[in-house]
Amino acid sequence: MLFFILVTLLTFAIMEGVTWCTHKFVMHGFLWYLHEDHHQPGYPHVFEKNDAFFIIFAVPSILLFYFGLEPVLNYKFFIGLGILLYGIAYFLIHDVLIHQRFKWFKRTKNKYLRGLRKAHKIHHKHLGKVDGECFGMLFVPFKYFKI
């Protein structure tokens, strides 16, 4: 059981690197047309084309859950669980805390959460697909945690 917990935690940690690379080279690269509306201030719709990435990233997790059950519960299931848990953390940080799509954490005083929000705001100051910075979600440069 300890092995499965470690697989889940390791997968969660690795997902930050996967997210950084995907955000920099895919979202700000060949799939910019899906991500572009996310960088436009005052986008008037409840959903953005950028929300398609939630579905894209859910597919590997779903497949790993499925193949992780046969013939018995195996490591693939727990890789899928690590991806799912990272997706939940991403949703809570990105959509709830940073972009305030849901008004749950409007006035946090937490230094770490404020630093994440600050770094993402710096990322969004660039409206185009080039010259970006701060592509990660949970691990950002320490300079953003100084108040």
pLDDT tens string 111-120: 888 888 888 8
Q: Is 73 left (phi over 0), alpha (psi -120 to 50) or beta?
A: beta
Query: What pLDDT was estimated at residue 42?
Result: 67
Query: What pLDDT was estimated at residue 121?
Result: 82
Asked whether the CA dihedral 74, 18, 39, 107 is positive or negative, the reply is: positive
Separation CA 139–CA 86 (nearest Å): 13
- Which residue type, as a one-letter code, is found at position 66? Y
Q: Tell me the percentage of the chain whose pLDDT exceeds 90.
A: 38
8-state DSSP, 15: H
- Domain residue ranges in the chain: 2-145
Query: What pLDDT was estimated at residue 104?
Result: 78
Q: Tell me the percentage of the chain whose pLDDT exceeds 70.
A: 95
Segments of the chain with pLDDT less than 50: none
